Amino acid sequence: MADRVGNILDLNGKVALISGAGQGVGRQIALHMASYGAAGVIVNDFYAERAEAVAKEVRELGGKALAAQGDVGDFDGVAKMVEAGLKEFGSIDVLVNNAGNMGPNPDVTRSYFVDSTPEGWKPWLNVNMYGVLNCTRHVLPSMIANRRGSIITIISDAGRYGDQNSEVYAFAKAGAAGFTRSVARTNGRFGIRANSVAIAATRTPTTAAAFESEGNMQKILRQYPVGRIGEPTDVANMVLFLASDASSWVTGQTYPVNGGFTFGL
């Protein structure tokens, strides 16, 4: 490997599939991929119109995009989406497991764990746990065959330090990080790397309301040494690094991108 490459954050024609890329962090990751040399971007979202709108933005940046509507919690649906992506672009070299939060329904309520039921856990587990399992399960075979791939899973600091009243979400996100480490260990011999990115308060359509009140914002900011909350670009920058060959000696790690909300050793 050369000691130095021109632009280290260059995707060199890799194809990326990003789940939940119809808005927020996933959207920005898709746009970053297009801006930094991806040969193709597969824009997944539960909502077709969101996936199509972001695919259009990718094309406006000069990239190639495939809008892929689908629920990442649906094992067979994800298989079809991956198949369509491989047919369109020939390979999937980067998988970003980004779909998360409450899933497609923003009305899912958080309740005290002692009052919760398996029915209430399902929406959280569907996207944050099964979504990661399904996408990774279906993308891995072609990565193994091609002897290259980078899998990046967006988790949450909630899964690292234990957010209050977020037990099921924290369970799924911490599980996703453990899963990612195991994928990294098993598949390194095939040229595949896997890492997680743990993010904290980041301004997206889902979270924006929490940052509207000045009082609430001041309370939140007291916990952030850098003095601001995150923007989707902050996360996309790290994802780009982990997707590119600049991180070719980096695998099995969890990277906090969180303004110092928590520190890792």
Ligand X SMILES: NC(=O)c1ccc[n+]([C@@H]2O[C@H](COP(=O)([O-])OP(=O)(O)OC[C@H]3O[C@@H](n4cnc5c(N)ncnc54)[C@H](O)[C@@H]3O)[C@@H](O)[C@H]2O)c1
Residues that bind ligand X (CB under 6 A): 19-20, 22-26, 44-47, 50, 71-73, 98-101, 103-104, 127, 131, 154, 156, 199-202, 204-207
Query: With respect to ligand X, which residue has the nearer C-beta, 4 or 134?
Result: 134
Query: With respect to ligand X, which residue has the nearer C-beta, 69 or 146?
Result: 69
Cβ 35 vs Cβ 58: under 8 Å: no
Min. distance of Cβ 101 from ligand X in angstroms?
A: 4
User: Catalytic site residue 169?
Assistant: yes
Which SS3 state, helix, strand or coil, does residue 73 take?
A: coil
Query: With respect to ligand X, which residue has the nearer C-beta, 44 or 187?
Result: 44
Which SS3 state, helix, strand or coil, does residue 22 take?
A: coil
The residue number whose beta carbon is nearest to ligand X equals: 100
Which SS3 state, helix, strand or coil, does residue 41 take?
A: strand
Maximum Cα interatomic distance, the chain, rounded to a whole number of Å: 57
Determine if residue 30 is left, alpha or beta; phi over 0 gives left, psi from -120 to 50 gives alpha, anything else beta: alpha
Q: What is the DSSP pairing of strand 192-199 with strand 94-97?
A: unpaired
CB atoms within 10 A of CB 250: 14
- Quote the DSSP letter at residue 158: I
Query: With respect to ligand X, which residue has the nearer C-beta, 129 or 140?
Result: 129
Min. distance of Cβ 158 from ligand X in angstroms?
A: 6
Min. distance of Cβ 262 from ligand X in angstroms?
A: 12
Min. distance of Cβ 138 from ligand X in angstroms?
A: 13
Catalytic annotation, pick one of 47, 169, 224, 255: 169
Cβ 222 vs Cβ 214: under 8 Å: no
Strand order in the sheet with 40-45: 65-69, 40-45, 15-18, 94-97, 149-156, 192-199, 254-257
Q: What are phi and psi of 80, to 5 degrees?
A: -65, -40
Min. distance of Cβ 249 from ligand X in angstroms?
A: 25
Q: What are phi and psi of 67, to 5 degrees?
A: -80, 125
Min. distance of Cβ 21 from ligand X in angstroms?
A: 7
CA count, 13 A, side-chain hemisphere, 76: 0
Query: With respect to ligand X, which residue has the nearer C-beta, 161 or 190?
Result: 161
Closest of 30, 147, 142, 29 to residue 90, by C-alpha: 142
Query: With respect to ligand X, which residue has the nearer C-beta, 146 or 233?
Result: 233
Active-site residues, by number, are 169
